[in-house]
Amino acid sequence: MTTPINQIPASSIPATRAYLLAQLQTLVTADPNDANASLLVCMDGPSTDIPEDIVSVGDVHQNYNPEANVGSGGSHWLYEDYTVTVDIQVTRNTDDSTVTFNRARTLADLVVALVRSDPSLGQVVDRARPSVVTHETDWVDTGRRTAITIGIACLKSL
C-alpha cells in the first residue's frame, strides 16, 4: 500500500495486526480441559464481556530507521521496525496457579508457532519473530489469573 504523496509506501502495521488476528481466530480453540471456559480472540482487548480465556492482538511500539543514507526518501528508504503485542489472559475459579499458567502457556506457544511457521506473516513484513515475553500470575476475585504478553518484533522495508 502506498500514500498519495509520491507513492511513498504506507505502514505495514494495520496489515500485520489484521493477519495476526485472522490467523489466531482460526488456530485458537476453547480449552479442552475446561468445558465451562469461554474464549475470545480479539483486537485491542475485550469490551464488557470478560471470558475466562482472552487472546488479544494489541499495542504497537514503532521506530523508523534509515535503510539508505542517500536517496529521495521514496521506496526502500526506511526500515519500519516495530513490535506488536499479543496479550493472553487466563482466569479460573481455582487456587491452583498451575491451571491458569499451563493454559496461558499453551496459548502462548500457539502464538509463537504461528510466527515461526511464517516469519513473513503472509508476506506482510520482511521478517517477524517472537521477542520479549512476560508472564504474570496473581489472585483475582474469581480465583487465579495468568497474563502473558508476547512481543512480535517486525521489520519491513518501506
107 domain-assigned? yes
User: Which string of DSSP letters, residue by residue, matches the chain?
Assistant: -B-SSTTPBPPSHHHHHHHHHHHHHHH----TT-TT--EEEEES--SS---SEEEEEEEEEEEEEES-SSS-S-TTSEEEEEEEEEEEEEEESSS-HHHHHHHHHHHHHHHHHHHHH-TTTTTTSSEEEEEEEEEEEEEETTEEEEEEEEEEEEEEE-
Apex CA 5: angle with CA 126 and CA 9, to 5°?
5
100 domain-assigned? yes
2 domain-assigned? no
How far apart (Å, rounded) are the C-alpha atoms in residues 92 and 8?
48
Which pLDDT value is given to residue 93?
96
- 132: domain CATH number is 3.30.70
Number of domains into which the chain is organized:
1
Which pLDDT value is given to residue 71?
63
All three cell numbers of 77, joined, read: 528508504
Range of the domain at 40: 13-157
Which pLDDT value is given to residue 59?
96
3 domain-assigned? no
124 domain-assigned? yes
Averaged pLDDT, 145-153: 98
Asked whether the whole model's pTM tops 0.85, one would answer: yes
38 domain-assigned? yes
Which pLDDT value is given to residue 9?
83
**pLDDT tens-digit series, residues 6-64:** 777 889 999 999 999 999 999 999 999 999 999 999 999 887 778 999 999 999 999 98
147 domain-assigned? yes
143 domain-assigned? yes
**pLDDT tens-digit series, residues 71-113:** 666 677 788 999 999 999 999 999 999 999 999 999 999 999 9
